[in-house]
Amino acid sequence: MTQISWTIQSFRNLLKTCITDRNLRTGKSLHTLYIKSLIPSSTYISNHFILLYSKCGRLTAAHNAFYQTQDPNTFSFNAIIAAYAKESLPFIAHQLLWSDGTCIGVV
């Protein structure tokens, strides 16, 4: 069996393809590999998982990926807010946008 050396670049490239193709099956497998890998947690990669699940209509998985992001940034918030808005849940999107009375993301 061949050992594969994963890098953030590897995940980024594969995830971008999964997002473009809306390939949920491969994307979920990558997410499992990422969680089990020794690659340090990356907000950048986590953001791509949020996008993947959102584009594939898996709001619960996108929500979980967002809340598992260790250091969410504006992109993270925008991605999950857009996911909720896309699924006709504007109230939740609004709550996230205005967390703690401060506008966190920009839609």
Tens digits of residue pLDDT in 17-62:
999 999 999 999 999 988 888 778 889 999 999 999 999 999 999 9
Q: How many domains would you assign to the chain?
A: 1
Lowest mean pLDDT among 32-41, 64-73, 88-97: 88-97
Distance from first CA to last CA of the chain, Å, rounded?
A: 46
Query: Is there a domain that residue 65 lies in?
Result: yes
pLDDT of residue 106: 55
- Across the range 5-27, mean pLDDT stands at 89
Assess if residue 1 is contained within a domain: no
72 neighbors 41 (Cβ within 8 angstroms):
no
Burial 60-93 (b: 16+ CB within 10 A, else e): ebbbebbeebeebeebbbbbbbbbbbeeeeeebb
- Cα-to-chain-centroid distance, residue 77: 10
d(CA 91, CA 1): 49
Asked if residue 2 belongs to a domain, the reply is no
The pTM of the full predicted model, rounded to 2 decimals, is: 0.82
